[in-house]
Each structure stands twice: as C-alpha cells, then as structure tokens.
Amino acid sequence: DAGITQSPRHKVTETGTPVTLRCHQTENHRYMYWYRQDPGHGLRLIHYSYGVKDTDKGEVSDGYSVSRSKTEDFLLTLESATSSQTSVYFCAISELGTSGRGVNEQFFGPGTRLTVL
Amino acid sequence: RKEVEQDPGPFNVPEGATVAFNCTYSNSASQSFFWYRQDCRKEPKLLMSVYSSGNEDGRFTAQLNRASQYISLLIRDSKLSDSATYLCVVNPLNTGGGNKLTFGTGTQLKVEL
C-alpha cells in the first residue's frame, strides 16, 4: 500500500470553527489532492497541488483553502466550518503521467470523517 | 451529461456468477481509464487500469470501446469478497494540468451465498 496517512481520522466540530486536516505521504509523489465524498455525488475534487507551494482549485473549492510547504504534507483548512461540509475527506497522491500515457492512477489515504454540528 | 456515468445498482448476484458493469464517458479525447474498488467506509483502491487492447487480471477483465465511449468490467466466478462499490475513472474534459481524474459515482455489487 502507498504510504499515505491522514489525520485526524474522525472529527466532530461546531459550525463556525476552523478545522485543518492533514495528509502525509512517504512516496515523494509530485501531485496531491483533496476530495470529498458524499452520497449521490461520488468523489469531488476540492483542491490539488502539483508541487511545493503550487496549488489550484478543484470543482468544489469554496470554503476551503490548502497549503503545501513540503513535498510530503498537504493541509486542507476549513476556515469556518458549516454543516454542508460534513463529509468524508480523502487525500490522494499521484505521479506525473508519462508522455502519451495520459494521467497516472491516484492512490488514496484512509479518509477523515468530519461532522460539523 | 455527466463526464462519467455508471449504473448505481445494486447488482445482487449469487456466488460463482459472472457479472459485468459498464461505464460511459463524455470526453472522446480521454486517454486514461481505470477501475477502482471501494469497500464500505474505506478508501478507493485501484483495481486495474484499462488499456485499449483490453486487459485481464485473474477473474477480472476490463475493456475499452473508444468508438462508443464506454468501459466495461467483467468479474467471473464472483466471490463474497467481491462485494464492494466499483468506480469508473477517466481523465476529465479540461485537465488544466494537475494530472486530474474524474470519478464515477460507482456501481454497487453484492455477492450472495
């Protein structure tokens, strides 16, 4: 299994509080991703990173920010959590696809279950 | 139209049966195709990549039909342990860099005694 850990694994918080989720990898992969997974929606990309200090928005980025100060760590922050952000959050990593092969597969961390009351 | 569409199921099959899932995708320029498996309350795990020529891994066979823009997964001799949700995955319409993938919502398989 790819070396990806997420912390915390479970969190319950209240509306309006800040929350930071951490993803840590030991694979030295260039790309890192944060997804949320909700019933009926599947996995939706929140933000991704293509290198240290290089990040970009995904399809559901409102209300979230990210930072990547080291290759191995990718942080997801909810500045002021809302009940709509109750979800399961997955981190994933990937390497660059080789020429002509399109994009490479992604490997996922175990997930964080976040409940915002 | 969704970028990746799958029948959500559930597909309830007896142990030993053969079951097939299809998935359609909207971006005719897509080059990367995968099947992932996700167990309840767990992370998605790569099952297999899908190549143009089709590929087989034990009881699992994946095929790609570019003309009709669909991907299939065939599972032979189903086991109880095959019960899971199977996610179809494709590189999206506008990658914009980032090595991104688009995930289908999954097809649920339940293998029964």
B60, B48 Cβ separation under 8 angstroms: yes
Write the CB contacts of B63 (distance below 8 Å, at least 6 apart in sequence).
B50, B54, B71, B72, B74
CB contact (8 A) between residue B31 and residue A103: yes
- In sequence order, which residues have a C-beta less than 8 Å from that of residue A109 and are 6 or more positions away? A4, A5, A6, A23, A90, A91, A92, B43
Tokens found for residue A21? 């989720």
**Least Cα separation, residue B61 to chain A (angstroms):** 18
B 32-71 residues with CB < 8 A to A: 32, 34, 42-46, 49
| Distance of alpha carbon B62 from alpha carbon B74, whole angstroms | 6
Residue B99 banded pLDDT, cuts 50, 70, 90: confident
Averaged pLDDT score across all residues of chain A:
93
Residues 6+ apart with CB under 8 A from B97: A50, A56
> Binning pLDDT at 50, 70 and 90, where does residue B97 land?
low
Chain A positions touching B96 (Cβ under 8 A) are 56
Give the residue from B10, B39, B36, B47 showing the smallest Cα distance to B102. B36
pLDDT digits (tens, 9 = 90+) for B15-55: 999 999 999 999 888 888 999 999 999 999 999 999 888 89
Q: Do A43 and B44 touch (CB under 8 A)?
A: yes
What secondary structure, in 3-state letters, does B2-54 show? CCEEECCCCEEEECCCCEEEEEEECCCCCCCEEEEEECCCCCEEEEEECCCCC
Q: How confident is the model at residue A1 (pLDDT cuts 50, 70, 90)?
A: low
Residues of A in contact with B95 (CB under 8 A): 103
A31-78 pLDDT, tens per residue? Answer: 999 999 998 888 999 999 999 999 999 999 999 999 999 999 999 999
Distance from CA of A63 to the nearest CA of B (A): 21
Check CB contact under 8 Å for A43 and B96.
no
